[in-house]
Amino acid sequence: MCGIVGYIGQRQAYPILIKGLHRLEYRGYDSAGIALINPAGELGVFKTKGKVADLEALVANRDVSGTVGIGHTRWATHGEPNDANAHPHYSQTKNLALIHNGIIENYAVIKNELKGHGYNFRSETDTEVLVQFIEYVKSSGNLDLFHAVQVALSQVVGAYAIAVIDKNNPDCIVAARKSSPLVIGIGEGEYFLGSDASPIIEYTDQVVYLEDEQVALISRSHGLDVRNLSDVEQTPEVKTLQLSLSQLEKGGYPHFMLKEINEQPDTLVNCISGRIDPAGTDVILSGVINNKEKFLNAKRIIMVACGTSWHAGMIGKYLIEDLCRIPVDVEYASEFRYRNPVLGKGDIVIAISQSGETADTLAAIQEARKAGAFVYGICNAVGSSIARATHSGSYIHVGPEIGVASTKAFTGQVMVLSMLALTLGKLKGTIKKGEYRDLIKDLISIPTKMKQVLLLDPLIDEMSKIFTYAHNFLYLGRGYNYPAAMEGALKLKEISYIHAEGYPAAEMKHGPIALVDAEMPVVVLATADRIYEKTVSNIQEIKARKGKVIAVVTEGDTVASSLADYVIAVPPTNERFTALVTAIPLQLLAYHIAVNKGKDVDQPRNLAKSVTVE
């Protein structure tokens, strides 16, 4: 939810911190700050409401020298976005400065205690409470910073990734994590810290992912020492990053979102490579094959996810029930974790998450594991917390997604779920041989079809101008088109701030039709499928109320097209995979409307890329 960076070594820390913060800005962007210890031994904190660019302007004429420093880009949880609530936070004596990603749930109790000891507070944040608490533990127990952090964190309830520096010991950074990600990059006599590897990749490809409740002492002179909260030494596993710098840049596109929309034909080729044999006769999703017995004996499958990943899960449900005849429930992870679901051995929980760090999904996994279910992850971020918390799983392999609105991750998730359904359907014998081959053929044709759909961009851009100032939108679809409609509505609302709802087309007449008038644009997914005629009837119902219909149809369509006000035609696709193709015009429509409105497409207000808090 927030982005944290750190550096200690021989170079100037400031340029490394600022570049890192720009890379992490997708995680949160309502305020930004840095703390540095300068050569004179002074600990300076510079922070401001706004983006990293505002921070750069703030420090333009200030002394930002120093070879040890930490930086933060914030997504507010406790206290509104303002200068005081921005991180880093000083301790009472200003000897310590700390940055934090997560939530300290028992901060109010600790704050009261500290007030009793004469501490006062400059901000409304839980983070300031933590740094003051560390200082209190340090001075009252006569401890060094590392041990004070261990003791303080043992008393903290909540989630954290933190980095702390101490004016009186400029030779080290202390970092720790629980339920929020933290990566340490190892260079030659220097160390880097990041919420993910993006601020680190151009300096080193050697990294350590800290585990929950591990505390790291990162010392310029003594190297890296990782221990748990009880001071037991841990052996960090050094991994080599599989990430390139070009994947983190815009590559000539005005926005990451547009780049990521256009990447989809390639990212899906990446996603299926090695999983569908080159002759197109077989799909082998190794995670399913390796856990064959569990999948074959599954009584039911429960998908847990949030947002776009939840929509992908809905498509997964339709696919698995349709092709494998196993009952599937799809749950919002945030509901699942608290509602005492009936769950046990023989159930498979599939957790879907692009970032692999979503707090609710992670907690749902823990609940599922406790209940004895087998947990399978579908993630994009390699080595992420969810990837590590699950028993097994499949990566979607679509590369880093930087735009806050998920695009290529959605199609990657749907692709993996399609391959999962085909692998399992074949194992169970619920798909006929001929149909299996036809479906594979369809699946491998998707990237080519996506390329064709991307050529519609100028048409969709023109169309977007008509709807830029609409106040509401409805998105309708039946069958596989229903979750795709919900995803289209989510894309529009999150980046253009236009209110949009996705509905099953037939459900419209049970309420939402009351909203339809000449001012209401209705996007109807009316591609050729088993229930096309029924969808056409829904279009007629909208037209009878003078609604403006934008129909997404199959090339060659005549009936829906003749009724609709605007038509987007996509290549014919098996209905089971149609969401992979219709996703693109819906993403482009949302994108262009948001650009027309002058909105910040990659970093929409109030959102963050990875929701590591409840």
- The residue with its CB nearest to ligand M6R is 307
C-alpha span between 585 and 202 (Å, rounded): 35
* 225 close to 217: Cβ distance less than 8 angstroms: yes
Q: Of 132 and 418, which has the nearer Cβ to ligand M6R?
A: 418
* Cβ at position 311, least distance to ligand M6R in Å: 8
* Cβ at position 381, least distance to ligand M6R in Å: 8
* Cβ at position 495, least distance to ligand M6R in Å: 8
Angle CA 361–242–217, to nearest 5: 75
User: Is 609 known to be catalytic?
Assistant: yes
* 143 close to 208: Cβ distance less than 8 angstroms: no
Q: Of 48 and 406, which has the nearer Cβ to ligand M6R?
A: 406
Catalytic: which of 2, 172, 271, 324? 2
Strands 31-37 and 43-49: antiparallel
Q: Of 121 and 253, which has the nearer Cβ to ligand M6R?
A: 253
Q: Of 404 and 567, which has the nearer Cβ to ligand M6R?
A: 404
* 182 close to 193: Cβ distance less than 8 angstroms: yes
C-alpha span between 527 and 551 (Å, rounded): 9
* Cβ at position 353, least distance to ligand M6R in Å: 3
Site residues (vs ligand M6R, CB under 6 A): 306-309, 353-355, 358, 361, 404-406, 490, 494, 607, 610-611
User: Is the torsion defined by CA of 268, 270, 274, 278 positive or negative?
Assistant: positive
C-alpha span between 79 and 455 (Å, rounded): 45
C-alpha span between 32 and 50 (Å, rounded): 7
- Distances in Å between the alpha carbon of 180 and those of 81, 267, 378, 520, 529? 21, 27, 19, 42, 43
Q: Where are the alpha helices (DSSP H) in 142-253?
A: 145-154
Task: Please enumerate in sequence order all residues whose Cβ is within 8 A of that of 312, keeping only pairs 6 or more positions apart, or say none.
Answer: 305, 352, 378, 410, 413, 414, 417, 483, 487
* Cβ at position 605, least distance to ligand M6R in Å: 12
The strands making up 96-104's β-sheet, listed across from edge to edge, are 89-90, 96-104, 158-166, 169-178, 214-219, 223-228
User: Is 2 known to be catalytic?
Assistant: yes
Q: Of 385 and 574, which has the nearer Cβ to ligand M6R?
A: 385
Q: Of 36 and 352, which has the nearer Cβ to ligand M6R?
A: 352
Catalytic: which of 111, 294, 493, 609? 609
* Cβ at position 360, least distance to ligand M6R in Å: 8
* Cβ at position 407, least distance to ligand M6R in Å: 8
- Distances in Å between the alpha carbon of 30 and those of 1, 6, 597? 11, 19, 20
Catalytic residues: 2, 609
